[in-house]
Structure 1
């Protein structure tokens, strides 16, 4: 199959499952904002984000290696899965030893047991789903997304609406959906065939660790960029401010949902093209189409910011709309930086991902302490935007050392200028703002239509 058609086919298949599971976060907002107060949502958000940063630490980042080495045709797949499973189990034992430390962290101490099971099941589910994806079982991977989504919706309704368990119910719904989904994948893909803990390929284990360990601080640094502002907000302005910011952050998730689906399929193509020795030209063509999709999606979301917020949230959270345009701009740069990160992954240059992400994370922390006292919640959004701009610029310059990726600079400048103009119009609530927004959306469409049509033609022909 032609490489463009294969990428499109995999993207479509992943979309069936991944779109439903990632869209779940977005679609469940009406339920969460009506069942939980802004303070409760701010608290549960901090708990979940704490779990998210512990997940890669406990697993030693092995889940990233499972995908990359699982895609490598020269590697024994049984060894890859077994090493992943063993690493997760050993990491969980280490986490159990640290329980006294977690009990002294005030906002999570009463939920410690939930957090343990959350981390374990999240890691086991990711291991199974990542391995299934690395073996290109795309239909099963897609089915798992739909299956897990249905489970999560049902369990959230049961624990939050019927039993009114609040924060505990939110966590329990996630834990059980991961557990049941893991069992389904384990038997549907017959993953027990790939377990061989009695014999571990030491050379492969060493290679996977060299690849995955730099990605632990990378993941933590990414988490810092995305989430440190929430801790600073909670510390300086309280849980209610964090709740509003967390809700505002969900709307740009529309963009990351769509691009995340594409990136799932793109990782397979990126590695395959690298193994063929023809990556730079293909990367550039795909980047052109990818960036056009990102800018078109961002333009529409900014124009509809207030409408989206009104539909998806309760009146208590409506004021969060004002932070969305800046966060959408940050998401644009995050998506482009993530695409460049796939080039590092294909080359197994995980240390470069680490360096570029850590620089941006440090900048984010500094900016949070400078901008939040001055501009409140909006300061956190600006800090995130500037951090992702920094990451993209560094990666774009650094990557030219080993891959020639071409950028359409004039188009990039026009796109970003239009997006910034849209944001200013929305934030200042200029009279007849909707007419201006429609006009600017049309400009974005005209600027990007050629790339989108060429991308579609490569798929069809």
Structure 2
């Protein structure tokens, strides 16, 4: 199959599962804000974000290795999956040991229990899902995403609306949904057939060599994405953190759309990286231009409708958070750009480059948060710090990634597009005279600037769609 068709097909499959599921969860925010106060929502979010910090430590980042190594040689997949089980089992024992140490000391409170439960269930689910994805089983990978969401919504309604469990119900619903989805995958895919009690130690060492640098990488990425919430809580209060958390939900639309594509793109980036280098470089350059156009256009549209989006998304007491949305939308675009450049490291298994570039971004983020959050900017300072750190990380990754694959960056368009969305954000937040006209004008200017790649892609999609219908 043509590489563009393969990428489009995989993107479509993942979209069916991921977009449908995440889109429903996005609108669950309205449900959450009805049953959780801003302070409780902020606390629940910190519990889940802390668990996300624990996950790479407990799993040794092995799920990334399972996906990458499962793609290489079908004959070795039993060893790959079994190595993943072995590592996560060791991590589970580590969590149990911590519990046994903390319990007699009186430090094992409910929040720690919830963090451990969330982390362990997430690791097990991710192991099975990434193994299936590495096999190229995109249909099943998409379906399990929908199923996981169905479990999560049902359990949220039960625990929050039915049993009024509050923060505990919010976290347990996520963990239980992961566990139920794991059970489904094990029996549906007969994953026990891929288990061997004596996996090849050479493969395990290679996987760990690739995965272990991903542990600090994931932590640094987490710092860049989430540390501002802890600092807002420390410098301001839990309610401000809860408000900021809601503001972050709007850019989640961009993160969702980019994530769908990037999951499919990572598969194509590896499989299409072999062969003629000129053809490969051209492929990467074309996809990058399209990705750049899509994210900047999506960010601009979301910025324009920040106020009505918050009115739809959350209860009325959260309305004031619209002012943080514009900067966070631009930050989400550069977060996705950084991830795209990082996918080039995946081609040659250069996990060390993930480490250094993520470290640089995290250091910038922490430094700016410490300066800007206690300043008069307050919560807006956290958004600005996040934006700056992602821009810095992206620029550093561009330099290193282009040494591996010298793709064309379309730098003039990127620079002008970035200036336009930053100008749009500033005018929106400050509500300067004529702000409404600017919110209409800038998305239009961005479309005109990227019209060639957007129209060409639309024509190609329509053509393939018509061909598909004729074949039926």
TM-score (norm 2): 0.94
Looking at structure 2, the residues matched to 17 and 108 of structure 1 have their Cα atoms a distance apart, in angstroms, of 37
Between 351-360 and 23-32, report the one with greater CA deviation: 23-32
- 1:291 matched residue in structure 2: 292
More displaced stretch, 317-326 vs 93-102: 93-102
1:215-258 CA-partner distances (Å, limit 9, x unpaired): 00000000000111111111111111111111111110000100
Shift of 1:369: 0.6
SS in structure 1 opposite 2:374?
Answer: helix
Secondary structure in 1 matching 2:408: coil
Residues 46 and 150 (structure 1), Cα distance of their counterparts in 2 relative to 1, 3 Å cut: same
Give CA deviations for 1:152-175 in whole Å, capped at 9, x if unaligned: 111111110111100011011111
Aligned twin of 1:404: 406
1:362 match: 363
Aligned to 1:395: 397
Whole-Å Cα distance in 2 between the matches of residues 35 and 341 of structure 1? 38
The correspondence of residues 189-228 of structure 1 with structure 2, limited to 5 A, is 189-197=189-197, 199-228=198-227
Asked whether the 8 Å contact 2:373–2:381 carries over to 1, the reply is: yes
Q: Decide whether the 8 Å contact of 1:224 with 1:365 is kept in 2.
A: yes
Matches within 5 A, 1:69-88: 69-73=69-73, 76-88=76-88
* Residues 1-48 of structure 1, C-alpha deviations (whole Å, 9 max, x = no match): 110011001100100101123334421110111110011011111100
2:416 and 2:157 map into 1 onto residues whose CA distance is 45
Q: 1:270 Cα shift?
A: 0.5
> Deviations for 1:168-197, whole angstroms, at most 9, x for unmatched residues?
110111111111111111111111110112
Note the C-alpha offset of 1:425: 1.8
CA separation in 1, counterparts of 2:244 and 2:90?
Answer: 36
> Deviations along 1:327-368, whole A, 9 cap, x unmatched?
111111111110000000111000001100001101111111
* Structure 1 residue 261 corresponds to structure 2 residue 260: yes
Paired with 1:87 and 1:189, the residues of 2 have a C-alpha distance of 21
**Equivalent residues of 1:356, 1:391 under 8 A apart:** yes
CA 424–106 in structure 1, closer or farther in 2 if over 3 Å, else same: farther
1:59 aligns with 2:59: yes
Q: Which residue of 1 aligns with 2:349?
A: 348
Distance 1:165 1:104 in 2: 26
8 Å contact kept, 1:102–1:112: no
User: How far does residue 280 in structure 1 lie from its aligned partner after superposition?
Assistant: 2.4
8 Å CA contact retained: 1:288, 1:408: yes
Which aligned segments of 4 or more residues in structure 1 are displaced greater than 6 angstroms?
100-108
Cα distance in 2 for residues equivalent to 1:105 and 1:12: 51
Residue 102 of structure 1, CA deviation? 6.4
Contact 1:38 1:244 in 2 (8 A): yes
Q: How does 1:57-456 map to 2 (within 5 A)?
A: 57-73=57-73, 76-99=76-99, 109-197=109-197, 199-276=198-275, 278=277, 279-374=280-375, 375-456=377-458
Tell me how far apart the structure 2 counterparts of residues 400 and 110 of structure 1 sit (CA, whole Å). 47
Residue by residue over 1:293-332, the C-alpha shift from the partner in whole angstroms, topping out at 9 and shown as x without a partner, is 1011001000000110011111121111111111111111
Structure 1 alignment gaps of length 5 or more: none
Q: How far did 1:113 drift?
A: 2.7
Deviation of residue 458 (structure 1)?
Answer: 4.8
**What's the RMSD between the two structures over aligned residues?**
1.8
Asked whether the 8 Å contact 2:258–2:336 carries over to 1, the reply is yes
CA separation in 2, counterparts of 1:167 and 1:312? 20
CA change 1:344–1:384 in 2 (3 A) is same
TM-score (norm 1): 0.96
> Is the 8 Å Cα contact of residues 25 and 153 (structure 2) preserved in structure 1?
no
Alpha-carbon deviation of 1:88? 0.4
Aligned residue pairs: how many?
Answer: 460
Instruction: Kindly state the Cα deviation for residue 438 of structure 1 after the two structures are TM-superposed.
Output: 1.1
Q: CA deviation at 1:400?
A: 2.3
Instruction: Check conservation: 1:43, 1:107, Cα contact below 8 A.
Output: no
- C-alpha distance in 2, partners of 1:111/1:347? 40
Whole-Å separation in 1 of the counterparts to 2:107 and 2:250: 26
**Runs of at least 5 residues in structure 2 that lack an aligned partner in the other structure:** 465-472
Whole-angstrom distance in 2 between the partners of 1:281 and 1:347: 18
What does residue 14 of structure 2 align with? Answer: 14
Does the Cα contact within 8 Å between 1:426 and 1:433 map onto a contact in 2? Answer: yes
CA contact (8 A) 1:47 1:108 kept: no
